Structure 1
Amino acid sequence: MNTLFEITGLNLDLIIYLTIDISIAIALLGAMKVVSGISAQVNSTDELSKEDNFAFGISVAGSVAALGIVLTGAITGENAESYTMEAIGMLTYGVLGLILIKIGRVIHDRVALNHLNKNEQIKARNISIGLVDAASTIATAIIIRAVLLWVHGLDIGTFIAIISGFIVSQAMLVLVTRIKEYQYAKNNQNDSLQEALENGHVALGIRYAGQVISTALAVTAASYFLTYNPETLWTSLLAWLIFSIVMTILVSLLTTIAKYLILWGINLVEEVDHQSNIGVASVEMAISISIALILTGLMA
């Protein structure tokens, strides 16, 4: 056993810390399923198994994945001063992440996609709305994770930074939604993107998912350039917002170029908007996310 510890670099303390973190993480992930059911005013187990509601399953999957993403920001790899402090820190960040994810969902429902009732649509088994809900939740989590990794410590300044970063993320997601609505209306004789999603346009849901997730990745790039300092917090957050806008525009431009080259000869408006081509929409989503990942990777 000692030889194993020497080879792997593990020790008993580290194993205990890992056990604490993973136990709390699993408990929080389980809680997320229950919270999703409460938010939708349904029994999660019945909706998933007895009702076979695929849209609800996609929505819950997005919420669980989102919390998992947030928890990777809470687990920094550095152990706390004691087992108790480790548990408190992990639980605090986890619960805060869960709350912010749910608040982000409400904001997205009432501000970004304000012309449709997302809960009712998911209960009505609307797959496109389930995809949109999962994507927006994951996008929120990606940015929360970036802020968690950006800050350090566990005090009031930390929580102000996390909440402020969350507000920036929601502002960017709403902005991108409005831009995509304008583009869709321009290409489709002033038709409504939200109405199309409400009518179950799965291809549009897939495309939109790629757009919001790529936006979230673009927003996180600012964390690589700005140093967290409680004394200059508001200046840093303003810089984060400006940098996020610049990065979002850059990702959008590069994605447009990449789509033009990769999907050469394919009329995206005709295939996705009019024919609901899920295959082409999936390629669009993959391109959007890939460009954002590559760009943020280069920034890092």
Structure 2
Amino acid sequence: MNLLNNAFFLTPELITILVIDLVIAVILLSAVRYLAGLWMGVNTKDELAHKDNYAFGISMAGSVAGVGIVLTGSITGEAANSYVTEAVGVLSYGVLGIILIKLGRIIHDKVALNEVNKKAEIKRENIAVAIVDAAATIATAIVIRAVLLWVEGLDGYTVIAVLSGFIVAQTLLVVVTRIRENMYAKANQGDSLQEALQGGQVALALRHSGHLISTALVVKAASYFLIYEPTAIVSNLIGWLVISLIMAVVMFVIGRIAKHILLLGINVAEEIDQQDNIGLAAIEMALMITIALMLGALMV
């Protein structure tokens, strides 16, 4: 699995495989720019260079990172049966990843942030909405990568398994969004989290992004409990969802305890929700991601 464990053992065949993988990766990553323009209905050059639309840049950066993360799950560094097999495998997984990332964006727009016109907000340079958009894309990519590393081979069962993991991820991201909305409303006299994001509150966006990415990381960690069985997709899907929910609850509890200890004496809700304290939001984001990573490390 590790092509570069020892550079002295690189063979012409492995070097060729590396070149094939990298060429396909560069092509797919380059395509992200044009796909982002099509999705937004804008000229990417105008948005990035002439209008200096930072929000569009952040959103596009999430797409680039997402595709890159997915590709790390399809590029193994091992010699395939043939160069054509290697190219087809990497390209197929890469294209599937791009499609699922796009589908994940649609689900996030229509279900999770159903009160926000994401395209319009990003066009009007709403950085808060762009940050959440990028985080949701990265979260989706993390789970897709986990599934690609979990499955074996490339066939119909593999595609079903990837779709199953994708469904689990999107379900949990929507659940997390609803929970965060309820918590925000209770702490702010019924105010709407989505309206606050539309208002451009970057601190809220950072904190919410931390919860989205950390949720994806525990979904990834849940895969360590499951053994890939091509004919047991339904049981795998249910098991993955249940384990992910349990781990998400554990992460949330540990996160609250750690936050109270780390930020003792600070009214975090008031600072982030009402004063848009980006520094504290960044700390909470880092804390949640760190806890998720530690839970994942314990599962390996």
When normalised by structure 2's length, the TM-score is 0.97
Q: Which residue of 2 aligns with 1:133?
A: 133
Q: Give the aligned residue type for 2:214.
A: S
2:82 and 2:46 map into 1 onto residues whose CA distance is: 41
Whether 1:199 and 2:191 are equivalent positions in the alignment is no
* Mean Cα deviation higher: 229-238 or 6-15: 6-15
Cα displacement (A) at 1:115: 0.4
2:45 and 2:69 map into 1 onto residues whose CA distance is: 23
Q: Give the aligned residue type for 1:210.
A: G
Report matched runs for 1:171-250 at 5 Å.
171-250=171-250
Q: Which residue of 1 aligns with 2:16?
A: 16
2:242 and 2:187 map into 1 onto residues whose CA distance is: 29
User: Percent same amino acid at aligned positions?
Assistant: 57
1:275 and 1:193 map into 2 onto residues whose CA distance is: 14
**1:207 partner SS:** helix
1:177 and 1:248 map into 2 onto residues whose CA distance is: 13
Contact 2:164 2:233 in 1 (8 A): no
Cα displacement (A) at 1:58: 0.3
Q: Which residue of 1 aligns with 2:267?
A: 267
Q: Which residue of 2 aligns with 1:155?
A: 155
Q: Give the aligned residue type for 1:154.
A: L
Contact 2:75 2:90 in 1 (8 A): yes
Q: Give the aligned residue type for 1:248.
A: A
Q: Give the aligned residue type for 1:263.
A: L
Q: Which residue of 2 aligns with 1:30?
A: 30
Cα displacement (A) at 1:34: 0.9
Report matched runs for 1:53-202 at 5 Å.
53-202=53-202
2:35 and 2:295 map into 1 onto residues whose CA distance is: 35
2:299 and 2:154 map into 1 onto residues whose CA distance is: 27
Cα displacement (A) at 1:78: 2.3
1:273 and 1:47 map into 2 onto residues whose CA distance is: 30
* Mean Cα deviation higher: 225-234 or 282-291: 225-234
Q: Give the aligned residue type for 1:10.
A: L
1:8 and 1:298 map into 2 onto residues whose CA distance is: 33
Contact 2:18 2:77 in 1 (8 A): no
Tell me: CA distance 1:153–1:117, structure 2 relative to 1, closer, same or farther (3 Å).
same
Cα displacement (A) at 1:169: 0.6
Q: Which residue of 2 aligns with 1:3?
A: none
Unaligned 5+ residue runs, structure 1?
Answer: 1-5
2:77 and 2:185 map into 1 onto residues whose CA distance is: 47
2:199 and 2:138 map into 1 onto residues whose CA distance is: 23
1:233 and 1:115 map into 2 onto residues whose CA distance is: 34
Paired residue total? 295
**1:114 partner SS:** coil
Cα displacement (A) at 1:7: 6.2
**2:209 partner SS:** helix
Q: Give the aligned residue type for 2:109.
A: D
Task: Please provide the CA RMSD for this pair.
Answer: 0.9
2:268 and 2:94 map into 1 onto residues whose CA distance is: 40
Unaligned 5+ residue runs, structure 2?
Answer: 1-5
**1:30 partner SS:** helix
**2:109 partner SS:** helix
When normalised by structure 1's length, the TM-score is 0.97
Contact 2:207 2:282 in 1 (8 A): yes
Deviations 1:149-198 (A, max 9, x none): 01011110000110111011100000000000000000000000000000
Cα displacement (A) at 1:77: 2.8
1:107 and 1:257 map into 2 onto residues whose CA distance is: 32
1:113 and 1:126 map into 2 onto residues whose CA distance is: 14
Q: Give the aligned residue type for 1:297.
A: A
1:79 and 1:51 map into 2 onto residues whose CA distance is: 45
Tell me: CA distance 1:223–1:7, structure 2 relative to 1, closer, same or farther (3 Å).
closer
Whether 1:291 and 2:291 are equivalent positions in the alignment is yes
Contact 2:139 2:212 in 1 (8 A): yes
